[in-house]
Amino acid sequence: MEFTTCGAGETRALGAALAAVLRSGDTLLLEGDLGAGKSELARGIARGLGYTCPVPSPTFTILNEYEGGRLKLHHFDFYRLSGPEELYESGLQEYIGAEGVTLIEWGEVALEALPEDCLVCTLTPLGEEKRRITLRERGGFRPLDRTFWKAGGEGGKPCSLSGVQTEPAEGSLGKETDKA
């Protein structure tokens, strides 16, 4: 599935809508260059799970944990890891795929530590504010309902994405594109 968002608010709204269909044990890989919007998507997912606290990127802490929402949230950022060995030495790999939802930024640093079954969320800047966000199920990750974004954004209200059209895309579930 592919979405286009215009601004951080829409990226967060898409994350919040996505959170509504996440289950305990789900792992999401957030891929994209610096500034692509990975942390904004993570903030939206956190809001959608019911967290109202600040959700900073865990660049320097490697892991931020959140409890008290609909599901626990484990938010990783592997950017500063030297490789998978550092993750294993810390024991943090035990949180990946554990109870709650796991978000991993910069997962390519420790590929062997990542679960085969996950949702890959690739964020690509299309200009100053616009982002293409592609969601792809990997391994045995269950297929997502193609209309999950209609379930609502922050606070259960409809997501700010409007005018989303579905066009079949070869080799994927489809393509959602915002006309605006």
DSSP-assigned beta bridge partners for residue 6: 130
SS3 content of the chain, % helix, strand, coil (to 5): 25, 25, 45
With a cut of 80, say whether residue 169 has pLDDT above it.
no
pLDDT, position 150: 66
Of 88-97, 108-117, 123-132, highest mean pLDDT: 123-132
Q: Beta 27-31 vs 118-125: how paired, if at all?
A: parallel
Of 49-58, 109-118, 152-161, highest mean pLDDT: 49-58
Q: List the domain boundaries for the chain.
A: 2-178
CATH architecture, domain 2-178: 3-Layer(aba) Sandwich (3.40)
86: left (phi over 0), alpha (psi -120 to 50) or beta: alpha
- Write the pLDDT tens digit of every residue in 39-63: 999 999 999 999 999 999 888 888 9
Of the candidates 29, 45, 117, 116, the one whose C-alpha atom is nearest the C-alpha of residue 77 is: 29
| pLDDT average, residue stretch 134-139 | 94
Enter the tokens of residue 4.
Answer: 């286009």
| pLDDT average, residue stretch 83-94 | 85
